[in-house]
Chains A and B, each alone.
Chain A
């Protein structure tokens, strides 16, 4: 191919959000490491990665919802409900193997996702309203389930609590699960019809209808994915923090959206990729973990995240507008 020359390959690669993020990440890491050399120590790196493992799982679910032109504000509540459920099951039935516990978490999450999906796809309620409502319904259900109490570390089995910390080939199970989810959904997005049809619905619903893609089905699927992944995240959350509390994961929807926006996912739908979301999550993790290095208390974390999202949002918008203009210039010389 004539346009496959090396320079064009480089240019095309760097036009992508993934590459920009990589560069930014390195640029960010240099001063941080200079200031605090232990930042890149194996221990700290693994802390950052483990911190981000749950987020990336949730962010991937959020990614599909945003990709289809929606938003899922209920992720934090779904995590809380499944996390609480898993914690309580673990407490009452310690003989249930951990693997099964994760599956139960995913099942419960899928059920909650289904509720969102049916309301959006068949009730035709806008995603923002649906998930704003279920956000408080699911959180309320968490309180009802727990009757306001907590599940603490000593009420859970050791194997459950140990799950995130146990390592295999030097990498924690938590991270393995996250990596598996990334690979699985990379495959899903790239190599299945449904995966591609989500892009079609988000990019141009009318055209998608023309080629026979069912909008309701896709809307249902994205919320199902988001719910299932939040369920998985919930069951891991309880294990990782060795407790299940009613307020867990409050405001987590923001972090999930932040990871997506950073990863170049467009809010008008139809653009973005799993790798971008993963890198966006990593970027967020590095920034959050670097706050103490620049002597900012963790209390500033929310502020910094909001600011980053706003900047990423503006960047996405401006670069889109510039591209449109360029195309216009090409047209009619």
Chain B
């Protein structure tokens, strides 16, 4: 018996799907909807403001969102596994504090970077160990460490602001790639995004993340070390907080204890809006890439139109809720369709 023949019985359903059905399937894909939305945002702001569609301005805008977009990458892994981390803004504060005081003590640029990455990774590792070690809920643990990490920065810095940095430190967050109009931070983001794309979609590690997110139990029964994977995710997120802290400190050259407040929400919004299911197991790096650009340029455009930061906050919060509500409605729609197709109503 030929192998093809074995598949015939159930194969008809999918292979003989009409063009219309294929199109519906494609256009209800979250990434496609997002890309479409992105184009709409672009057209809208181009019409509303003459300053929007300008290469220099578009590139300049990336300064505002690259740091958050970078954080969204490891957060994909965490949410993919059904976990959550609401301590990232505090880890950044901790890293930034270390950068700030070390710089004041006269540390060199490489030292500052290494310190920031180490402190970030350590903070993330502690999160991971606490959550998996005692099997405590991720939301509660990271809520506590959110205060602990931020608390260290607040306690040590008080009202103090660190403003002394070595010559050239501003490069990471303020400068362009020499000879171009492309900011360094954005290039870094694009590079990291490609790495994450590769890891999630082309490696064993990425495959395991999907397995854990959909069924941690099956993953465990298949010989995947679920606990270790989760710890790695949290450590990785901490490490990226370290990167983000360097960019942020370099950009604003002033570290206070309230630095990066509210970033937890924004980063989680990017990830969830990008189509990563909050209960885990579903999502792509491409989706989060689009959502990062979408939110970034939405804010930039609204800024051009003189909308206050307040309105943006409301828009971001609403986007988060809509991003979860909409796929759910789409799922119901798709399920109904599938049922209709199965009942022969093609």
A139 to B268, CA, bound (A): 18
Given contacts A119-B321, A134-B321, A310-B145, contact A124 B328 (CB under 8 A): yes
Task: Find out whether the CB atom of B147 lies under 8 angstroms from the CB atom of A305.
Answer: yes
Q: How far is the CA of A261 from the CA of B310 in the complex (A)?
A: 32
**Contact residues, A287-323 vs B (CB, 8 A):** 296-297, 299-307, 309-310, 313-314, 317-318
A299: which B residues are within 8 A, CB to CB? 154-155, 157-158, 257
Q: When chains A and B are docked, how far (Å) is the Cα of A136 from the Cα of B313?
A: 6
**B: interface residue count bin:** 35 or more
Chain B residue with Cβ nearest A137: B317
- Choice from B151, B158, B272, B311 contacting A305 with Cβ under 8 Å: B151
Chain A residue nearest to B328 (CB atoms) is: A124
Q: Give the distance in Å from the alpha carbon of A301 to the alpha carbon of B148 in the complex.
A: 10
Residues of B contacting A304 in the complex (Cβ-Cβ under 8 angstroms): 151
Q: Is B134 an interface residue (CB 8 A)?
A: yes
- Shortest Cβ distance from A260 into B: residue: B140
* Nearest CB of B to A138, in Å: 8
A150 CB-CB contact with B under 8 Å: no
Smallest CB separation, B95 vs chain A (Å): 16
Q: Are B147 and A306 in contact (CB under 8 A)?
A: yes
**Interface 1/0 per residue, B123-157 and A, CB below 8 Å:** 00000001000111101110111111111101101
Task: Provide the bound-state CA to CA distance between A15 and B146, in Å.
Answer: 31
Q: Do A132 and B140 contact each other (CB < 8 Å), given the known contacts A119-B321, A126-B278, A306-B146?
A: no
From 128 to 169 in chain A, residues with beta carbon under 8 angstroms from any chain B beta carbon are 128-130, 132-137, 139-141, 143-144, 148
Q: Is A283 an interface residue (CB 8 A)?
A: no
Residue A174 is within 8 A (CB to CB) of chain B in the complex: no
Closest residue of chain B to A77, judged by CB? B317
B58 within 8 A of A: no
Q: How far is the CA of A141 from the CA of B315 in the complex (A)?
A: 11
B313 near A139 with CB under 8 A, answer: yes
How far is B151's CA from A297's CA once the two chains are assembled, in angstroms? 11
Query: A-side interface residues toward B, CB under 8 Å?
Result: 71, 119, 123-126, 128-130, 132-137, 139-141, 143-144, 148, 254, 257, 261, 267-268, 296-297, 299-307, 309-310, 313-314, 317-318
Closest 7 CB pairs of A and B: A303-B151, A306-B147, A140-B314, A306-B148, A302-B151, A143-B310, A136-B317
